[in-house]
Every structure is written in C-alpha cells, then in structure tokens.
C-alpha cells in the first residue's frame, strides 16, 4: 500500500501514511474542508434552515 499523500511506502507507525508529515497534511485537508462530498440541495434541506414557528418563544 502506498501513502495517499505522496505515494511512498507506508510506515506501520503512521498507517496508511508514510510519515507524521503526510498524516498532518491529510488532517489539514479534512479540517479546512478540502475533502467534501458534493450533494444537491433538496426541498427538505431548505426547510431545515427555517426556524419552527410553532414552538413558543421563551
């Protein structure tokens, strides 16, 4: 198996990466939103943005 970041052989200590550096690069991509699954907005998603008006305000 090769490292998904740099394609070098993996190190068992950092598997599936070859080093801590590549593991940190991958984590950074997750944290800044580089890895995202595109999805279409549905009517249900749009309804979720509107607050429920039937609940009493306190």
7 is annotated as contributing to ligand binding: no
Cα angle: 41, vertex 51, 31; to 5 degrees? 55
6 is annotated as contributing to ligand binding: yes
How far apart CA 52 and CA 32 sit, in angstroms, is 31
3 is annotated as contributing to ligand binding: yes
Beta strands in the chain (DSSP E): none
Q: Binding site residues, as ranges?
A: 3, 6, 18, 22
Q: Binding site residues for Zn(2+), as ranges?
A: 3, 6, 18, 22
């Amino acid at each position: 198996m090769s490292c998904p970041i740099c394609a070098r052989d993996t190190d068992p200590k950092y598997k599936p990466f070859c080093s801590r550096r590549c593991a940190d690069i991958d984590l950074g991509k997750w944290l800044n939103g580089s890895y995202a699954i595109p999805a279409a907005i549905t009517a249900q998603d749009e309804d979720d943005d509107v607050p429920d008006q039937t609940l009493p305000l306190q």
